[in-house]
């Protein structure tokens, strides 16, 4: 897990923005195949998810090694507002 993934999960938008401004690569995946969007969705902060999506780097329907998309992860973690946002943005 990269620092930007951890910050996204924890909902620290200012930290994520700082890391991105310093060149953090939000397209990387962890050992489970989760990207920054997956981590933001697990954290459940709608504004964080909006920010990650606004970077236009991560595929909204990317699947991790278990075949789970960010929307599925949000649903599993009980973050319905995040699921609704992703679906409104075209997530499958």
**11-25 pLDDT, tens per residue?**
999 999 999 999 999
- In this prediction the pTM is 0.95
Q: What is the pLDDT of residues 70-92, one digit of tens each?
A: 999 999 999 999 999 999 999 98
In the structure encoding, which two tokens stand for residue 75, read together? 């649903």
Coil, strand or helix at 46: helix
Are the beta carbons of 82 and 74 closer than 8 angstroms?
A: yes
Burial class (CB in 10 A: 0-12, 13-18, 19+), 5: buried
| Domain boundary assignment for the chain | 3-86
Coil, strand or helix at 47: helix
Q: Specify the CATH class of 3-86 in words.
A: mainly alpha
């Amino acid at each position: 897990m990269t620092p930007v993934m951890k910050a996204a999960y924890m909902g620290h938008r200012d930290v994520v923005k700082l890391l991105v401004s310093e060149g953090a690569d939000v397209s990387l995946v962890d050992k489970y195949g989760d990207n920054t969007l997956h981590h933001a969705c697990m954290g459940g902060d709608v504004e964080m998810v909006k920010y990650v999506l606004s970077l236009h780097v991560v595929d909204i329907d990317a699947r991790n090694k278990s075949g789970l998309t960010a929307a599925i992860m949000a649903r599993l973690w009980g973050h319905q507002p995040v699921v609704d946002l992703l679906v409104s943005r075209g997530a499958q």
